[in-house]
Structure 1
Amino acid sequence: MIISVNSNPDSSEFGLLLSSTISELNVQAQKSSEKISTLLGRSLEPYVRDVMSDLATGTPFENSIELIGGQKFPDIVAKKYYGIEVKTTTQNHWRTTGNSVLETTRVESVERIFMLFAKLANPMEFRCRPYEEVLSEVVVTHSPRYLIDMNLESGETIFDKIQIPYDTLRKKDNPIKPIIEYYKSKLREGEELWWIGQEDNGKASNIIVKIWNSLPAEDRSILKIKAMAYFPELFGSSNDKFGRLALWLITSESVVCPNVRDLFSAGGKGQVIINGKTYGNISRIFLNLFENLSQVVETIISTPATELSDYWRRHTTEKGKLMDWIDLVDIQGQKIRDAKHLNIKQMLTDLIFKK
């Protein structure tokens, strides 16, 4: 890690220092390509430090650049104001995974950051651009990170897409939220956000992935109850009605279930008695709902309306979420041939609000 001990920024001199540093690095890449090609990752940082220190002689940055350890961001800090993040690739392109969106390790005093990118494949080349101008998207490894593209055109950064400047976003208490909202707005049918969606509700996805049948019976029961609360389309007739549930099990609960349909549809039809009236020829998925209705209702009540709005893909409120869920299930139930003889809305209302 590299940090400066000086203070007052000087924009023009720093711009000249960056330009001369890149020029010198490219000259040395031609003269000593074998040596530089071995400087991967952090190995390049002290090399860049030495080049910058030599070129800083006679400038306001002379004797101010130091190499330090740790995981701080960015890698080079000059006069406690300017920063350079150093990235390398051995591939013949200008893209790589960047730093965390959260920037929890950022040097606090740094205001302007530049990306110094070393392409160590033939032909070897160094480039440098303002940090916020080369961040095209957000991708996920173990946390949301920026995707760096040194060839990115003007107006195509992730900040242009979410319509929030980089400096504004990074200073937010929750910089992930606007990014989540942007990617959610781009979802197509059958798509869900992986991991990143958890950032908005305080949950974390388990790093260990489990097979459904390996779960304890109690855990399987809890997940089925949540599924009936969160995914009203389960009670409809769509061919892909289990798709979002399957994605949710993987992305939110770290559970792989090869036979999601069987969880709700396996078994024959039956009957249920509500307020003394017997309803027959009821499909298994509705029998499962009626048998677990109190737990489903409890789940809906305990889940924030904002979270339910995401699951249901329609706005709901704390006051109206229970009736909204009944309406959604009823709408789906009307699409099933075997449920056309039933008034699902009335049945659920009678069971939930029974006198």
Structure 2
Amino acid sequence: MKKAEFEALLDRCCTQLTIEAQTTGFKTSPQFENRVREVLRDMTIAESFLIDLDPHPQAFPDIAMGEFGVEVKFTTNDTWRSVANSVLETQRVESVKHIYLVFGKMGGTPEVRWGEYEQSVIHVRTSHVPRFEVELPSEKTAVKKSLFEEMGILYDDFRKLPMHEKMKYIRAYARKIHPDGRLWWIEEKETDEHTVPIQARLYTNLTTPEKTKLRAEAALLCPKIVKSGRARDKYDDLVLYLLTYHGVLCHQARDLFSAGSVANPKNDDNGGIYIMRALKLIETEMVEASLTMDDALFVEYWGESVSPERRITRWLEKADELARDWKPSESLFLNN
């Protein structure tokens, strides 16, 4: 199959999946990815492709079809932007030469589109390891240069570099987009892991609405915050999330949930468990976060994909296992 023929196949695939998205709909990333795999299999039944219906969960791209590959992204939000795969690509399927992105968007008007992977990668952000961000063009956003155009290197050349060589390009890109910002990972390190941000802000300097939003997101992703006060690691994931995904440095993570100004803003001296009181005050924001945050974040922090409508329930299950002296499910989200 030639490149033009494969792209025509993607046209047909996305047309069918758009119809399904607007009728029966898709609720989760795994459901959508499996359906993409099935449709491509059915449409190429006469070809020699052998599509693995149960691939390695970390394989990149998600679907290998000879020299062609498809990376699948899905969101319940009205956006064509998403966190993507690790820069490392440790589980790269080497037989694949041409990678495409198939993106399912359920927010707004549900639709499925495709794009060339190299042109769709428009940013790199730090996490436990640097991760790409992808975005397909839309009527709401201007067409952006690909990350590889910004860095001055072809994707196929970049992916073959050792990690410390990749980081040289990423550092140069960081300096380019934030020429006046403070770079916290500018030093040379021959390491696979980088957990510091391109540009950092102090949590104390944020507006109150932004503080509340970030506290809600961090609390949702990091249920360990309900652990005993003696647990040394209870705030580790939270601090790394704020730092690596939002570039926010929090000096005293404990104060985000245990300080009196957060857990007891009315200063009513009613006592109680401060972490429980602090979480109760941001229940609405946590529910909002559960419905809008990217599924890739839950896979990264929880180790599993959870549909938006089940995330609060799953958080309570996790929190109940971690808490001592109180049971979160008996105190929080009682109206959900």
What is the TM-score when the length of structure 2 is the normalising length?
Answer: 0.52
2:36 aligned partner? 48
Q: Say which SS state the counterpart of residue 53 (structure 2) adopts.
A: strand
Q: 1:205 to 1:141 in 2, by over 3 A?
A: closer
Q: 1:16 to 1:118 in 2, by over 3 A?
A: same
Checking the alignment, whether the CA contact within 8 Å between 1:85 and 1:113 is kept in structure 2 is yes
1:88 aligned partner? 74
1:192 aligned partner? 182
Measured against aligned partners, the alpha-carbon deviations of 1:61-111 in whole angstroms (never above 9, x if no partner) come to: 3x54533232111100001x2110111111111111111112122112211
Identity of aligned residues (%): 31
Quote how far apart the aligned CAs of 1:46 are: 1.5
Quote how far apart the aligned CAs of 1:206 are: 7.8
| Greater RCO structure (CA 8 Å; 6+ sep) | 2
Quote how far apart the aligned CAs of 1:141 are: 2.1
Query: Is 1:68 aligned to residue 62 of structure 2?
Result: no
Q: 1:192 to 1:23 in 2, by over 3 A?
A: same
5+ residue gaps, structure 1, are: 1-8, 208-249, 258-355
Residue 19 of structure 1 aligns with an amino acid whose one-letter code is: D
2:47 aligned partner? 59
Query: Separation in 2 of the partners of 1:46 and 1:199?
Result: 40
Query: Separation in 2 of the partners of 1:122 and 1:153?
Result: 18
Q: Say which SS state the counterpart of residue 183 (structure 1) adopts.
A: helix
1:176 aligned partner? 167
Residue 55 of structure 2 aligns with an amino acid whose one-letter code is: I
Quote how far apart the aligned CAs of 1:172 are: 1.5
Quote how far apart the aligned CAs of 1:169 are: 1.0
5+ residue gaps, structure 2, are: 197-242, 253-336
Measured against aligned partners, the alpha-carbon deviations of 1:220-273 in whole angstroms (never above 9, x if no partner) come to: xxxxxxxxxxxxxxxxxxxxxxxxxxxxxx99xx9949xxxxxxxxxxxxxxxx
Q: Say which SS state the counterpart of residue 70 (structure 1) adopts.
A: coil
The Cα RMSD (Å) is 2.9
Measured against aligned partners, the alpha-carbon deviations of 1:156-181 in whole angstroms (never above 9, x if no partner) come to: 11111111111111111232221212
Query: Separation in 1 of the partners of 2:20 and 2:78?
Result: 19
Q: 1:84 to 1:204 in 2, by over 3 A?
A: closer
Q: 1:47 to 1:183 in 2, by over 3 A?
A: same
- Structure-to-structure mapping, 1:200-279, within 5 angstroms: 200-202=189-191, 256=251
Checking the alignment, whether the CA contact within 8 Å between 2:122 and 2:145 is kept in structure 1 is yes
Q: 1:139 to 1:56 in 2, by over 3 A?
A: same
Q: Say which SS state the counterpart of residue 59 (structure 2) adopts.
A: coil
Query: Separation in 2 of the partners of 1:57 and 1:124?
Result: 27
Q: 1:154 to 1:140 in 2, by over 3 A?
A: same
Query: Separation in 1 of the partners of 2:192 and 2:22?
Result: 50
1:328 aligned partner? none
Candidates 104, 128, 153, aligned match of 1:118: 104
Checking the alignment, whether the CA contact within 8 Å between 2:129 and 2:194 is kept in structure 1 is no
Measured against aligned partners, the alpha-carbon deviations of 1:180-201 in whole angstroms (never above 9, x if no partner) come to: 1221244444x22245x46635
Residue 46 of structure 1 aligns with an amino acid whose one-letter code is: N
Structure of higher CA gyration radius: 1
Query: Separation in 1 of the partners of 2:195 and 2:85?
Result: 22
Candidates 20, 23, 28, aligned match of 2:12: 20
Checking the alignment, whether the CA contact within 8 Å between 1:198 and 1:205 is kept in structure 2 is no
1:343 aligned partner? none
1:129 aligned partner? 115
Measured against aligned partners, the alpha-carbon deviations of 1:276-303 in whole angstroms (never above 9, x if no partner) come to: xxxxxxxxxxxxxxxxxxxxxxxxxxxx
Count residues with an aligned counterpart.
Answer: 197
Q: 1:44 to 1:204 in 2, by over 3 A?
A: closer
Quote how far apart the aligned CAs of 1:154 are: 6.0
Q: 1:199 to 1:121 in 2, by over 3 A?
A: farther
Query: Separation in 1 of the partners of 2:192 and 2:7?
Result: 43
Quote how far apart the aligned CAs of 1:27 are: 1.7
